[in-house]
């Protein structure tokens, strides 16, 4: 039985930077405001960390840590990058237990070929096996999971909201998770809508691999045709859109998930307000879940 709520919440550091631009408030003040809202950590891009020597100090002063360090790669080219080891070592030095790798993107005809088989697990697996670009991505991810094992860092991929990504859709994700030893999954609740897939069904399929969660909601677009899962991809605060985030959060908590719930709403028109609304919503859902047990 659940007796108390210990939900760990993080937010993308880019959102805080954008909030500073939108409001004119000093970054340190916003970092303290974020911490006061019950947020413990930030999701940060590797390049941002490496380009700013003061960022770790600013986070520490505000009582924040790094929940996950992410970066984009071009592994489809089949060339190992020194950034791979740098990524793992930087996470280790920053105290981040997990990293997120966006391995690369398909081009031209490959995108349409991948989309054509996305609705079938068998057809997707067959296509992934024969794609040189995708095989290169799997090899790159295998290099990184090996490095991760060496340094105690968990390597993850997410469902990515771009048709050029072979991770756009549950069966493509499943192939990578089965193909690459020790690779884990960051569930992005809002990105399955891009692939017009039901998030709850996809999460059930990929549940054994979930170690990290992005709470991304989506707003309805007036121009979007009704009837499909994808009703629009507008950035909104968590809980303000149509993605069943509350249901998924409750399910994860009941099943013992104890990782971070990361707030994500890139390009939200009012980042400061959206961050605070999102944090309040997640805390409320967690409290309701505990009280009903």
Q: In terms of residues, how long is the chain?
A: 293
- Read off the pLDDT of each residue in 270-274 and give the average, rounded to a whole number: 98
CA–CA dist 5, 172 (Å, integer): 34
Predicted pLDDT of residue 127: 98
Share of residues in the chain with pLDDT > 90 (%): 93
Q: What is the rounded end-to-end Cα distance, in angstroms, of the chain?
A: 6
CA–CA dist 232, 224 (Å, integer): 6
Query: 196-250 pLDDT, tens per residue?
Result: 999 999 999 999 999 999 999 999 997 776 678 999 999 999 999 999 999 999 9
The ranges assigned to domains in the chain are: 8-292
Query: 67-96 pLDDT, tens per residue?
Result: 999 999 999 999 999 999 999 999 999 999
Predicted pLDDT of residue 88: 98
CA–CA dist 24, 213 (Å, integer): 30
Predicted pLDDT of residue 291: 76
CA–CA dist 133, 17 (Å, integer): 34
Whether the per-residue pLDDT at 17 is higher than 70: the answer is yes
b/e code 221-255 from CB counts within 10 Å (16+ = b): eeeeeeeebbbebbbbbbbbbbbbbbebbbbbbee
Share of residues in the chain with pLDDT > 70 (%): 97
Whether the per-residue pLDDT at 4 is higher than 90: the answer is no
Residue that wins the pLDDT comparison between 114 and 1: 114
Containing 102, the helix (H) or strand (E) segment is strand 98-102
Query: 108-166 pLDDT, tens per residue?
Result: 999 999 999 999 999 999 999 999 999 999 999 999 999 999 999 999 999 999 999 99
Whether the per-residue pLDDT at 293 is higher than 70: the answer is no
User: If you average pLDDT over every residue of the chain, what do you get?
Assistant: 95
Predicted pLDDT of residue 1: 33
Does 8-292 carry CATH code 3.20.20.150? yes
């Amino acid at each position: 039985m659940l007796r108390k709520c210990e939900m760990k919440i993080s937010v993308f550091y880019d959102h805080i930077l954008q909030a500073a631009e939108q409001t004119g408030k000093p970054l340190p003040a916003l970092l303290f405001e974020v911490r006061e809202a019950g947020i413990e950590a930030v999701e940060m891009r590797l390049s941002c960390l490496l380009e700013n020597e003061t960022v770790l100090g600013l986070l520490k002063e505000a009582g924040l840590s790094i929940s996950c360090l992410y970066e984009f790669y071009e592994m489809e080219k089949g060339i190992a990058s020194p950034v791979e080891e740098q990524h793992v070592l930087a996470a280790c030095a920053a105290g981040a237990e997990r990293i997120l790798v966006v391995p690369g993107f398909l081009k031209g005809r490959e995108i349409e070929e991948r989309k054509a088989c996305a609705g079938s697990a068998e057809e997707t697996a067959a296509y992934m096996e024969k794609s040189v670009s995708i095989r290169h991505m799997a090899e790159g991810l295998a290099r990184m999971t090996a490095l991760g094992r060496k340094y105690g860092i968990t390597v993850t991929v997410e469902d990515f909201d771009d048709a050029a990504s072979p991770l756009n859709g549950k069966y493509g994700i499943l192939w990578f998770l089965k193909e690459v030893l020790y690779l884990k999954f960051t569930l992005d609740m809002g990105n399955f809508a891009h692939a017009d897939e039901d998030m709850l069904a996809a999460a059930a399929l990929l549940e054994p691999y979930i170690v990290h969660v992005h709470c991304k909601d989506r707003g309805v677009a007036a121009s979007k045709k009704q009837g499909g899962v994808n009703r629009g991809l507008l950035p909104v605060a968590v809980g303000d859109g149509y993605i069943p985030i509350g249901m998924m959060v409750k399910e994860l908590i009941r099943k013992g998930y104890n990782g971070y719930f990361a707030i994500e709403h890139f390009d939200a028109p009012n980042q400061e307000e959206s961050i605070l609304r999102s944090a309040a919503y997640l805390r409320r859902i967690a409290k309701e879940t505990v009280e009903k047990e």
